[in-house]
Amino acid sequence: MTHYLLVLLASTLTRTTTAAFYYPDPQSHLLEHILVDNWGAYASNFSSAITPCTNYVSQRGSTGLNSGRTTAAQWMRVLFHDFITANVSAGTGGIDASIGFETSREENKGSAFNDSFAFWAPYVNEYVPMADLVALGTVMSNNLCGSRLMPYQPGRIDATAAGHTTGVPAPETDLEETLLFFDRAGFNETDSIALTACGHTLGSVHHGGFPEVVDDSTVTPTNTNGGANFDSTRGIFDPLVVSEYLSSTGEKGGPLVTSFNVSSRSDLRLYESDGNATMQALLKQGDGFLDTCVDLFKKVVNTVPSHVTLKEEIQLMEVKPVNVTFGFDKDDKLILTGTIRILTPAGSRSPKTLEFSIAGKSYNLQSDPETGTSVFGRSGSEYGTLSYFSFSIPGSKARKETSFSVLGHSFSLQSETFIYPDTTMINGAIVNASIATSTSTECGNLKVTIAVPYKQQGTLAPKVQSQQITLNSKSVEKDGFKICSGIAELENVPTGLVSLKVFTDGKVADVLLVNGGAAGW
């Protein structure tokens, strides 16, 4: 009797396994991919925009090292402008991507906002809102440009319109009003000074956009937008802005300290407001400045409207299965395919073989020739190595299995009902969906939904909309599975990944992100 109950319980668990093929779930998988897979084989393209950290990616997708602009810096400035209109006592504003609707405000002049949103837009989908990318941009600038690795929690929600609150400090804003804006967003004077120094360790003030701060003498063929840097290393996240300010060396704290136009010296007014005490304290911290910055940026990225609850921090997966899926081979036999990613820290040797176990049988996988590199696992200037091990297991060995394991890590799986990837695709605005199911369920009773990111008016942040796909009642058979299919016409061509979900008994049985390779993912 007890035995029977256990079996029943186990089979119930199998049926409720969601998103078996994205570990630990689609959202964490996607964000972990951006955070960890920085360069080389199978990298997310996200890091390319800020590699090297002086790189610049414009709205039209061209890159430039001669513009005097810096994408890693722009991303942090976008965060600042989205954040600073928060009213924490009212629980409004903060990181919600409302900045995308606010680019015509004088306080948000310049190309930084649309440049950044244009690069991020293809990454938006059901699981990744623009607001999470606004936060992630700063995390990546810290991680890749010399600061500490920043923790990152997802779960933000995109605003659907411009925020009601206005007021971003500008170079001519007086000290009192500047501190009022920071106070509204939950930052006292000390922390406002430190946060501004942390922001102004990357990038420049440009004559193009701020001629009242920087005159045209900075414009040259290798600095076409006339950037005047905050410190001597505009692409390195370091404490130099603090030491150069206090010792009047190098860039002396930058244009917002030294501007020819006294009313434009907002950083000088702010830094001096406590008699330089905070700047002196930051100098004493040495490289500890970076930890201070991470703490302050963490507070900024986690400032969200009161109706938003952030999720758990994204964790590095040292052993990560990628693209694991059931499908059918050329003889229409069930197969399980995928790749295991292994992170090896700097200084250690990456494995050449890997043991993969399923159904009590072990397979010896060989590493792919190409590897990637990651800031995770770095030590000094050496990076972690990502190696990849592809597998293809006959369905006869994997059918009805509920897990596989690698290096002592177990990953869940189910072959009861799955999205059949080979015949699930998007062509323009047409979606073809195929579901394989071993149950006696009628095709017409399987519920399939898709969530699609589309362009929207007034912002470059896409908006995600859901719709249902009706499956044909007719099906074909393959290796004991019934293949159900359906077609949907979308309103428009999607801007990023489309997520397709199949539900059985009201529960998600499987998820597939369609066109996974496109748009830099």
* Contact residues: ligand HEM, CB under 6 A: 69-70, 73-74, 76-77, 80, 110, 112, 169-171, 178, 195-196, 199-200, 202-206, 209-210, 266, 270
Residue 116 as a binder of ligand NAG (CB under 6 A): the answer is no
Candidate ranges 230-238, 244-252, 398-406, 409-417; the one touching ligand NAG (CB under 6 A): 244-252
The least CB distance from residue 504 to ligand NAG, in Å, is 23
Residue 250 as a binder of ligand NAG (CB under 6 A): the answer is no
Residue 473 as a binder of ligand NAG (CB under 6 A): the answer is no
Rounded Cα–Cα distance for residues 140 and 50 (Å): 8
Cα–Cα distances in angstroms (integers) from residue 105 to residues 159, 298, 373, 399, in the given order:
17, 26, 40, 58
The least CB distance from residue 321 to ligand NAG, in Å, is 9
| Helix, strand, coil in percent for the chain, rounding step 5 | 30, 25, 40
Residue 264 as a binder of ligand NAG (CB under 6 A): the answer is yes
Please give the structure tokens belonging to residue 364. 């010896």
The least CB distance from residue 169 to ligand HEM, in Å, is 4
Q: CB under 5 to 8 A by kind: which of ligand HEM, ligand NAG, none does 191 bind?
A: ligand NAG
The least CB distance from residue 7 to ligand NAG, in Å, is 35
Please give the structure tokens belonging to residue 31. 């964000």
Of 233 and 273, which CB lies nearer to ligand NAG in the complex structure?
A: 273
Helices first, then strands: H and E counts in the chain:
13, 20
> Which position among 224, 339, 465, 470 is part of the footprint of ligand NAG (CB under 6 A)?
339
Cβ-based neighbours of 445, under 8 Å, separated by 6 or more: none
Q: CB under 5 to 8 A by kind: which of ligand NAG, ligand HEM, none does 73 bind?
A: ligand HEM
Residue 272 as a binder of ligand NAG (CB under 6 A): the answer is yes
Asked if the bond preceding 24 is cis, omega within 30° of 0, the reply is yes
Residue 245 as a binder of ligand NAG (CB under 6 A): the answer is yes
The least CB distance from residue 252 to ligand NAG, in Å, is 7
Q: CB under 5 to 8 A by kind: which of ligand HEM, ligand NAG, none does 169 bind?
A: ligand HEM
With residue 341 as reference, give the H or E element that holds it.
strand 334-344
The least CB distance from residue 284 to ligand HEM, in Å, is 21
Residues in the interface with ligand NAG (CB under 6 A) total: 43
Residue 303 as a binder of ligand NAG (CB under 6 A): the answer is no
Considering only residues 53 through 72, tell me which ones interact with ligand NAG, judged by CB under 6 A.
Answer: 57, 61, 63
Residue 459 as a binder of ligand NAG (CB under 6 A): the answer is yes
Residue 425 as a binder of ligand NAG (CB under 6 A): the answer is yes
Of 196 and 243, which CB lies nearer to ligand HEM in the complex structure?
A: 196
The least CB distance from residue 132 to ligand NAG, in Å, is 19
Rounded Cα–Cα distance for residues 121 and 141 (Å): 18
Of 332 and 505, which CB lies nearer to ligand NAG in the complex structure?
A: 332
The least CB distance from residue 174 to ligand HEM, in Å, is 11
Q: Is 446 exposed, middle or buried (0-12, 13-18, 19+ CB in 10 A)?
A: buried
Please give the structure tokens belonging to residue 492. 């428009």
Of 38 and 504, which CB lies nearer to ligand NAG in the complex structure?
A: 38
Cα–Cα distances in angstroms (integers) from residue 133 to residues 141, 304, 462, 463, in the given order:
12, 14, 12, 14
Residue 371 as a binder of ligand NAG (CB under 6 A): the answer is no
Rounded Cα–Cα distance for residues 180 and 262 (Å): 21
Cα–Cα distances in angstroms (integers) from residue 52 to residues 48, 49, 118, 144, in the given order:
8, 8, 19, 9
Closest residue to ligand NAG, Cβ-based? 517
Residue 517 as a binder of ligand NAG (CB under 6 A): the answer is yes
Rounded Cα–Cα distance for residues 192 and 86 (Å): 14
Judge contact between 385 and 159, C-beta under 8 A. Answer: no
Q: Is 206 exposed, middle or buried (0-12, 13-18, 19+ CB in 10 A)?
A: buried
Judge contact between 403 and 487, C-beta under 8 A. Answer: no
The least CB distance from residue 434 to ligand NAG, in Å, is 9
Rounded Cα–Cα distance for residues 317 and 69 (Å): 34
- Of 129, 114, 100, nearest in space to 71 by CA: 114
Of 11 and 188, which CB lies nearer to ligand NAG in the complex structure?
A: 188
Rounded Cα–Cα distance for residues 500 and 510 (Å): 8
- The helix-helix angle for 112-120 and 71-83 (nearest 10°) equals 100
Residue 367 as a binder of ligand NAG (CB under 6 A): the answer is no
Q: CB under 5 to 8 A by kind: which of ligand HEM, ligand NAG, none does 458 bind?
A: ligand NAG
Residue 172 as a binder of ligand NAG (CB under 6 A): the answer is yes
Q: What are the residues binding ligand NAG (CB under 6 A)? A: 42, 45, 48-49, 57, 61, 63, 87, 89-90, 103-104, 114, 172, 184, 188, 190-191, 212, 245-246, 248, 261, 263-264, 272, 275-276, 322-323, 339, 388, 425, 427, 432, 458-460, 487, 516-517, 519-520
